[in-house]
Amino acid sequence: MVTNIDQGEDVPVTHRLDCRGLSCPLPIIMTKRAIDALAPGEMLEMSATDPGSVNDMAAWTAKTGHELVGSAEADGVFTFTIRKVGQDAGLR
Amino acid sequence: MSGTTDKDIDALVEARVQALLDERLGPLVDERVARALAAQEVKAEADGQGQLDRIAIVASKGSLDMAYPPLILATTATAMGMEAGIFFTFYGLDIIHKRKYASLKVPPLANPAMPVPVPNLIGALPGMTFMATAMMKSWMGRVKLQSVPDFIEMAKDLGVTLISCQMTMDVMGVKKDDLVDGVTIGGAATFLEYAGKSKISLFV
């Protein structure tokens, strides 16, 4: 379970993706692959140490239409929670 | 009596001028407006309909540092739901050359951006390219940046279109067997057709 930073409610995470130590563009590419494997509505939690991933995840969710539910940082690790939106959200 | 006549004359003149304007100027203005509207429509068509959600990149350099921008941009584009295609030409061919792409180098000579703490001319000495390449590779290793071969595999896996320039292959004597699998061969027209419909076109 992870706390939804914005709404303070607990949401079940379907899959956790560890991208710590990886640099651009791997966090984005691995997030894309992980989201592809989920069903619409399921949640992905991705953690990364790449500071660029904060803006990258905002840009990626804006472009693909998936929902960036929460974003937090602790001790240099950035954690993002993404909800997969329907199949036709712009992905190939 | 003359006042009324003047007013009548004024009214007549005005009516006559108005009629002339409508007759002569009216059609001209209509034609101009119609032409301007048509031009706008053509432009809107070109902007709106023609451009696919696609990035087209020319990769023309074969040094280690310049191999990455096309690969990173293309793979990230596909991760964002776009199409991506890279056209490898001239030294960029080394990036998809089976025997060369694992050993790309970066020279410090004539490359003042390289933070090698020696005068630029020293970069001409034997061994300096080796040192600069080793230094860059160690930086890349520290952030776990994937090697060029790994990136090419990832690009293919993500569906990036890889096109090899036919003319460069002829000029440099490169055969299709020398290139990695999954590369199509084309010329300038192939790339221009691909890029012509792309929202983003870049030259590296």
pLDDT digits (tens, 9 = 90+) for B145-177: 999 999 999 999 999 999 999 999 999 999 999
Q: Active-site residue among A5, A24, A59, A77?
A: A24
Q: Do A23 and B83 touch (CB under 8 A)?
A: no
Q: Are residues B189 and B159 in the same domain?
A: yes
User: In this structure, are B199 and B155 located in the same domain?
Assistant: yes
Contacts of B75 in chain A (CB under 8 A): 25, 29
Cβ-defined contact of A23 to B145 (cutoff 8 Å): yes
Any domain includes B192: yes
Q: Are residues B38 and B67 in the same domain?
A: no
Q: Cβ distance A50 to A22 under 8 Å?
A: yes
In a domain, B97, yes or no: yes
Residue B181 and residue B163 share a domain:
yes
In the numeric block, the tokens 């048509």 are attached to: B38
Q: Are residues B1 and B74 located together in one domain of the fold? A: no
Contact B81 A59 (CB under 8 A): no
φ and ψ at A16, to 5 degrees?
A: -110, 135
Residue B5 belongs to some domain of the structure: yes
Report the DSSP beta bridge partners of residue B161: B85
Domain A2-83 -> CATH class: alpha beta
| CA A30 – CA A39 distance, rounded (Å) | 16
| Span B75-100, pLDDT tens digits | 999 999 999 999 999 999 999 999 99
What CATH number does residue B67 fall under?
A: 3.40.1260.10
Alpha-carbon dihedral sign for residues A20, A25, A26, A28: positive
- Strands of chain A, DSSP E: 2-3, 10-11, 15-19, 43-48, 67-74, 77-83
Q: How far is it, in rounded angstroms, from Cα B132 to Cα B136?
A: 6
The partner residue sitting opposite B79, judged by closest CB among A21, A22, A25, is: A25
Provide the shortest C-alpha distance from residue B44 to chain A (in Å): 23
The reply to whether B137 falls in a domain is no
Same domain, B97 and B154: yes
A24 in catalytic set: yes
**Same domain, yes or no, for B5 and B91?**
no
Last residue of a domain, one of B29, B49, B69: B49
Q: Does residue B139 lie within any of the structural domains?
A: no
Structural domain ending residue among the three candidates B27, B49, B71: B49
Helix H or strand E encompassing B59: strand B52-59
Give the residue numbers spanning the domain of B29: 1-49
Q: For chain A, 92 residues long, give each residue's pLDDT as a single digit of tens.
A: 444 444 445 568 889 999 999 988 999 999 999 999 999 999 999 999 998 999 999 999 999 999 999 999 999 999 999 999 976 544 44
pTM of the model: 0.74
Say yes or no: B152 and B97 in one domain. Answer: yes
Q: Does B166 share its domain with B198? A: yes
Q: Look at B143 and A23 and tell me if their CB atoms are within 8 Å.
A: yes
Chain A residues touching B76 at Cβ < 8 A = 24-25, 28-29
What is the total count of domains within chain B? 2
